[in-house]
Structure 1
Amino acid sequence: MEYVLVLYIEQALKKGVVQTMEMGLAEMGRVLRQRVLLIVLVTLLAVGLAGAGSFLVLEPEYEATTTLLVQSKQTEKGIAYNDLLTDQKLVTTYGEIFQSRMIAEAVIERLGLDLTEQELLENVRVRSSSESLLTAVTVTDHDPKQAVTIANAMAAVFMENLGRIMQVDNVSILDTAKLTSDVLEPVRPKPYLNMAVALVLGAMAGAGLALLLAFLNNTVQTEAEAEQLLQLPALGAIPFFEQKGSSGYRVVVRQDPRSAVAEAFRTLRTNIQYDEAGKHVKVLIVTSTLAGEGKSMVLANLAVTMAQAGKRVLLIDGDLRKPTLHHVFHLGGQIGLTEVLCEGVAPEEVILPSAAGPDVIPAGAIPANPSELLGSPKLRGLLSDLRIRYDLVLIDSPPLLPVTDGQVLSTLCDGVLFVVRSGEVARDQLQQAKGLLERVGAQVIGAVLNGKQRKRSEPAYSYYAAPEGDPHD
């Protein structure tokens, strides 16, 4: 069994199912802050269940205690030391007799209880000590009066039968039975104590669950993780934003230029321009590991920011399976790249200017053989011509794992930009995608984290959204 467990853990670590267990205090704090809502919900659930159970489910229990004194009869010579030793030994014996079926049967018969001997004895607790001559008998019951009645009955039955059992009469009742509490208050449950304990345990359980989920989370969450897995620089991190609005796709750098998202795209533009690998890139493809990581919207917004910086930018929709760019820029797109490669249509006929700044070559009709078209000499020649006419050519590529198109395109370009959706792509999938590019010798310049959730500790971006001349700037 131990061998199987060790083998399972080793396999899980190899597959990346569990993150490293060497999580520092700072990282643990970050995880707990990110999942504070989960911790609060677990804590409230624990307190609620404890309160509901204490007030509504558990019946109150009351305790009544009677005390018996074991002592030798005084003689003219007084009480001898040996008599005291004998009485102390008898205390333990008497405690066992109290918990015998004989006493329980007699009490049940006397009081007419609807209980079995075992059920009665489960509610009886006898405390005695070899260093004392006292024996305390405590009875627990849901009815406080019945607890007192049973405790007194047990003491009476015990004394009535003791002489017959052991032929001794050195026991007397020191205290008759009474409730443990002077007021009519149950000893169990204690709702507020239970809820206080549940509060502590719930918070601990919530924190533990948050850390466990972090350990089991196999997706890329941060720029640092993307850098570590790809062994490449993270050139930017785009905060989460709604990609579609009431009028269609949102080119946020144009529609909301003073937002935090627009500023993140400008930062990405700057990092690409000043990156050592990005300086010499004229043709750049933007791709991702899986579908749904937002590569097309990253590409569109990046192209607009490049155009806003005064560059001549051309966008090519190289996703001949699920083209998007003609929708993003509200272009016709009836003819495009497919017609240039298949039918010999001149590039000038398919290059469409967009209101946002960059020119666009739509994908055109969806062909039957996309990967063969993208690897054709015609596309290589087209790109050679476009390098001369534009400062930067950006190509939207299909995701790498589902199809081979991205690998083919990467061989025709100067660089590849990886879009990594935070919390979407698994670590092993990202490394697998990078491996596909390495096999064809593609030059990956870096990664951009898309859909990043802003931490509370990070500064707010109200400065960028403030209107011009705002006195609070």
Structure 2
Amino acid sequence: MLRSLIDEHPRNERTEPNRPQPAELGDADVRVLAPRTAIQDQSFLDVARVLYRRRLMILTASVLGAMLAALVGLAIPPKYTAVAQLVVEPPQGSSGGRALSPAEEININTHIAMLSSRDQMARVLDSLSSGAAARTAPSADIVSPSVGDGAADDAITNPARGLSPTELTRRLKLWTGFRGQSDARLNVEQLERNASITQLGRSRVIRVGITSKNPQQAATLANRVAQIYADAQYAQNRSWMNAELTRLDQRISDLKNEAEGTRSAAQILMNLIRRQDEIRGQIEFISSDISVFSLAQAPERPSSSNPLLFILPALIICAIGASLFAVMADRLDCGLRSERDVSAALGIPCIGLVPKIARRSRARPHRYLLAQPFSAYSEAIRSAAASLDIVAKSEDARIVLISSSIPMEGRTTLALSLATYVSGLGRRVLLVDLDFRRRSLLGRLCRRTASETRDLHLQNRPPAEFIQPVPGLGLDYLPMPRGADPLEPFASEQIPQLLEQFRDRYDCVIIDGPPLLGITEARLLPALADKVLFVVKWGQSREVVRNAVRLLRDAGCPEKEWSELPTAIVTQVDLKQHARYRFGDAGELMVKHRKYYAHAARAWRVAARVRAASSSPRPGNDR
């Protein structure tokens, strides 16, 4: 009945829970190696995970952006707006409470245009530099009561102060409630830009506003713009009346001679004399149709926006920008970071994750493995050895080739760690270094050099003469020479015959091979091995690894099935960073339940101390 159930099982479904279906990785199969589904169609949950994983970057960018906005706001000098008011007198005989007539609207607009003219601004600046305003003012009330003429002129003409730490501190105190001043130098163009002259609603009042970095300067300028214009209108009316009197005097003088002869001339002369008397009477009470209604006072608070208010908007904008950047970076990420990614992208099974060890232990990973047998790194090595089936004894030794796509992916560290662990189980292990181009850390473990291993077969010398035992690890190490042609041992069949000789002497032979990309002899080694452990660095690019796996497939042994030859493993995994991706694999669980694994490590240390104490001789028992 069991046989019938197996026969009825569909062929296109997997029968092994952790082993993906074998795939032929030809040129046409590259299309199957598609990116993760999360890259193509991210759901809301995927986006939330990305934001949670990048929360530190988003928070840092938001805080830095808010601080930068605050500093930029503090670096911009605050501006003050002082307002003086002019009132346009209604025509004689009309009520001031009625609505403005079109003629009065035109009159007010004319005053506004004249107040905003360049000539008016030039007269204001001339009065500041020459002191003409003090001489032409009818009274001392036109100057702001808080500053005299000399102080105002000095405050306006002094150059601007530099942006120093003291100035930044002063501005910060200013925006938080303290008062301060800043000086500036003006010209006609700046005064025109800083002036705002408008009509207050539908009233007869004209608002003269001046914005400046110095509050006292703003008040002084606003008062002088208003007063100079009012004085100019007063002087213009008085000048017109004086000119009219002069014309009447000349006309009266001419008509006196004609009045004696004609009656009509005498009548005209009497009218001109009457008009002359009226104008002389008006001169005593002359006034302008526009006057200063209120003077500007130095403002206490700046009129420009408070830069501290920019912090919250900048924080929100930077947070949104950093979040968008995090999502886009995750979409464009083509790195391999989990067992599922590696299996789906390469079409070969992935047997686990090897964590990254501390920097001080990377040069001696075998010592770390022995000193921390219950660490995450040791557990990963133990799992890899069990998956490769090199733990149990067998009649024929298993030859395991450890390869990678490019250098510096942890290939040699993994080979030494596997050899150390298997030898610790009482197995006979040989570690063969077949990287002809670079001396690895394996050579540091032995005292002898590899110069004698150039031609083992032709010299008819036993391999035992060239195998070097590694002190303290219980394994043997066979180095290979550097400098010769790497293909020479393969062309003379030295490497294949040498490996066949080792099958009878060892339980396991681990080969530390060269990287696949760019190394010719790396393509000849897979045919000599029973198993290929392909090392993938955590976060490595998909395209790089795919190209290496394609070469690995092309170099496979014809007698072996492709599905039985390669196995992948992910190395140099940062467990804390890996756990942020929420893959739900062993790497995440080791971080999530680290207390459980730490308890096992503490129990092992206690047992080790007990064994050491019981094995040490006691004083007085030596007889």
Give the structure-2-normalised TM-score: 0.60
Name the structure 1 match of 2:211: 140
- Give the paired residue count: 442
What SS class does the counterpart of residue 525 from structure 2 fall into? helix
Contact 2:516-2:548 within 8 A present in 1 as well:
yes
User: How has the CA–CA distance of structure 1 residues 367 and 198 changed in structure 2, closer, same or farther, with 3 Å as cutoff?
Assistant: same
Contact 2:90-2:96 within 8 A present in 1 as well:
no
Deviations 1:196-254 (A, max 9, x none): 44444444455455556656666545545444432333322122114654985544322
Write the distance in 1 (CA, Å) between the matches of 2:97 and 2:359: 96
Deviations 1:80-130 (A, max 9, x none): 76x455656766665554432122112212223653210111222345577
Name the structure 1 match of 2:554: 439
Write the distance in 2 (CA, Å) between the matches of 1:308 and 1:401: 33
Post-superposition offset of 1:439: 2.6
Contact 1:232-1:447 within 8 A present in 2 as well:
yes
Contact 1:250-1:328 within 8 A present in 2 as well:
no
Letter in 1 for 2:218: A
What SS class does the counterpart of residue 467 from structure 1 fall into? helix
User: How has the CA–CA distance of structure 1 residues 379 and 30 changed in structure 2, closer, same or farther, with 3 Å as cutoff?
Assistant: same
Name the structure 2 match of 1:62: 80
Q: 1:105 aligns with which of 122, 125, 138?
A: 122
Name the structure 1 match of 2:596: 463
Write the distance in 1 (CA, Å) between the matches of 2:105 and 2:339: 74
Letter in 2 for 1:345: R
Post-superposition offset of 1:70: 6.0
Contact 2:66-2:312 within 8 A present in 1 as well:
yes
Letter in 1 for 2:524: V
What SS class does the counterpart of residue 327 from structure 1 fall into? helix
User: How has the CA–CA distance of structure 1 residues 36 and 79 changed in structure 2, closer, same or farther, with 3 Å as cutoff?
Assistant: closer
Pair 1:394 & 2:510 matched: yes
What SS class does the counterpart of residue 402 from structure 1 fall into? coil
Runs (5+) with no aligned partner, structure 1: 1-15, 275-279
Contact 1:317-1:397 within 8 A present in 2 as well:
yes
Q: 1:237 aligns with which of 349, 353, 360?
A: 353
Letter in 2 for 1:125: S
What SS class does the counterpart of residue 575 from structure 2 fall into? coil
What SS class does the counterpart of residue 437 from structure 1 fall into? helix
Contact 2:73-2:307 within 8 A present in 1 as well:
yes
User: How has the CA–CA distance of structure 1 residues 85 and 229 changed in structure 2, closer, same or farther, with 3 Å as cutoff?
Assistant: farther
RMSD of aligned Cα (Å): 4.2
Post-superposition offset of 1:391: 4.2
Deviations 1:390-426 (A, max 9, x none): 4433211111223112111112223322212234x43
Write the distance in 2 (CA, Å) between the matches of 1:67 and 1:109: 22
Give the greater-gyration-radius structure (CA). Answer: 2
Post-superposition offset of 1:438: 2.6
Post-superposition offset of 1:300: 1.5
Pair 1:409 & 2:525 matched: yes
Post-superposition offset of 1:344: 3.6
Name the structure 1 match of 2:220: 149
Contact 1:251-1:297 within 8 A present in 2 as well:
no
Name the structure 2 match of 1:11: none
What SS class does the counterpart of residue 178 from structure 1 fall into? coil
Post-superposition offset of 1:326: 3.6
Write the distance in 2 (CA, Å) between the matches of 1:151 and 1:247: 77
Write the distance in 1 (CA, Å) between the matches of 2:604 and 2:432: 39
Q: 2:485 aligns with which of 369, 375, 378?
A: 369
Name the structure 2 match of 1:300: 416
Letter in 1 for 2:550: G
Alignment of 1:164-183 (within 5 A): 175-180=294-299
User: How has the CA–CA distance of structure 1 residues 350 and 432 changed in structure 2, closer, same or farther, with 3 Å as cutoff?
Assistant: same
Alignment of 1:314-353 (within 5 A): 314-324=430-440, 326-327=442-443, 329-330=445-446, 332-334=448-450, 338-341=454-457, 343-353=459-469
Q: 2:574 aligns with which of 450, 453, 459?
A: 453
User: How has the CA–CA distance of structure 1 residues 243 and 350 changed in structure 2, closer, same or farther, with 3 Å as cutoff?
Assistant: farther
User: How has the CA–CA distance of structure 1 residues 38 and 178 changed in structure 2, closer, same or farther, with 3 Å as cutoff?
Assistant: same
Alignment of 1:172-321 (within 5 A): 175-180=294-299, 184-188=300-304, 190-207=306-323, 210=326, 219-242=335-358, 245=361, 248=364, 250-273=366-389, 282-308=398-424, 311-321=427-437
Write the distance in 2 (CA, Å) between the matches of 1:58 and 1:50: 11
Write the distance in 2 (CA, Å) between the matches of 1:145 and 1:305: 83
Letter in 2 for 1:447: A
User: How has the CA–CA distance of structure 1 residues 131 and 28 changed in structure 2, closer, same or farther, with 3 Å as cutoff?
Assistant: farther
Write the distance in 1 (CA, Å) between the matches of 2:107 and 2:536: 79
Deviations 1:332-389 (A, max 9, x none): 4546764435534323333444456663342233251113424653322333343455
Letter in 2 for 1:427: R
Deviations 1:41-80 (A, max 9, x none): 444544444444455x443322212345568548568877
Deviations 1:126-145 (A, max 9, x none): 45577676653321122211
Write the distance in 1 (CA, Å) between the matches of 2:385 and 2:107: 91
Write the distance in 1 (CA, Å) between the matches of 2:573 and 2:480: 32
Contact 1:51-1:194 within 8 A present in 2 as well:
yes
The structure where strand makes up a greater share of residues is 1
Post-superposition offset of 1:318: 1.6
